[in-house]
Amino acid sequence: EEKQILQVSDNEYLVPALTELEDFNDQFNTEFIADDFDTIGGIVLKEFARFPALNESVDINGYKFTVVSASRRQIKKLRVKVTE
C-alpha cells in the first residue's frame, strides 16, 4: 500500500487515508484539527457521518475529498483537489 502523497496535477493529489493530520497539514499548509481522529481519513469519515461509497466526494475547507479506494470498513485512498 502506497504511503506517499502523490501529486497528479497542479491542484490534485492522491493521499492515503491513513496520512497523519500533522503530515497532511504540513503538506497542504492547512490546520485540520480533530480531537477524535488523527488521520485525514478520519476527518473525511466524520464529515460524511456514514461510510461513503467509492467516488463519493465531500468539500471541507476549500478541499474536495473523493474516495478512490476503500475496503468494506476503511477508506484507503483519497483524491484531494484544491478548490480555493
**Does some domain include residue 12?**
yes
**Does some domain include residue 1?**
no
More confident residue, 1 or 68: 68
Residue 49's CATH number: 3.30.465.10
Look at residue 28 in the predicted model and tell me its pLDDT. 95
Report how many domains make up the chain: 1
- Let me know: does 79 contact 68? Beta carbons within 8 Å: yes
Q: Kindly report, residue by residue over 32-56, the tens digit of the pLDDT.
A: 987 888 999 999 999 999 999 999 9
Q: Kindly report, residue by residue over 2-27, the tens digit of the pLDDT.
A: 679 999 999 999 999 999 999 999 99
**Does some domain include residue 10?**
yes
Residue-range definition of the domain harbouring residue 68: 6-82
Pairing of strands 63-70, 12-16: unpaired
Name the DSSP class of 26: H
For residue 61, pLDDT over 60 is answered with yes
**Does some domain include residue 52?**
yes
